[in-house]
Amino acid sequence: MQKIDTATAPKAIGPYSQAIAHNGFLFVSGQLPLDPATGNISGETSAEQARQCLDNLRAIAEAAGADMSKVVKTTVLLADLAAFAAVNDVYAGYFSDPFPARACYQVAALPKGALVEIEAVIALE
């Protein structure tokens, strides 16, 4: 296993890694909409926060030598499922066909009061 850590994405806020590369895959921890420079939430709407989550995800992918075209699976966590369409609009700008497999859930709460969190599995080969 190889730990992936980059200053271009937010530091982990708990006892976990930004990502772990293992057996040809990169397992990216849930990315909150945190500005890497300040550690603060970036964006007030779910769409704005989704953009920051995906920018963070892309930064980690690039640190591991991959890109967004190699994402095979994501999980999107929303504080309010009513934001599903708005988040989809942002999400579609980061991926192209074939789109990653995905699950999307509404959750009771997210760390730091975030509205969105996104995790991913990325192929490295």
pLDDT score recorded for residue 13:
86
Told to judge if 53 belongs to the known catalytic residues of this protein, a careful annotator would answer no
Domain extents for the chain?
2-123
Residues 66-112: tens digit of each pLDDT: 999 999 999 999 999 999 999 999 999 999 999 999 999 999 999 99
Asked whether the beta carbons of 5 and 17 are under 8 A apart, the reply is yes
pLDDT tens for each residue of 5-58: 999 999 988 999 999 999 999 999 999 999 999 999 999 999 999 999 999 999
Q: Which of 86, 104, 110, 121 is catalytic?
A: 104
71 has which bridge partners?
Answer: 122
pLDDT higher than 90, residue 125: no
Per-residue pLDDT at 108:
98
| CATH assignment, 2-123 | 3.30.1330.40
Whole-angstrom Cα distance, residue 23 to residue 10?
25
Q: Which residues of 22-31 are buried (b: 16+ CB within 10 A; e: fewer)?
A: eeebbbbbbb
70 membership: H or E segment, kind and range:
none
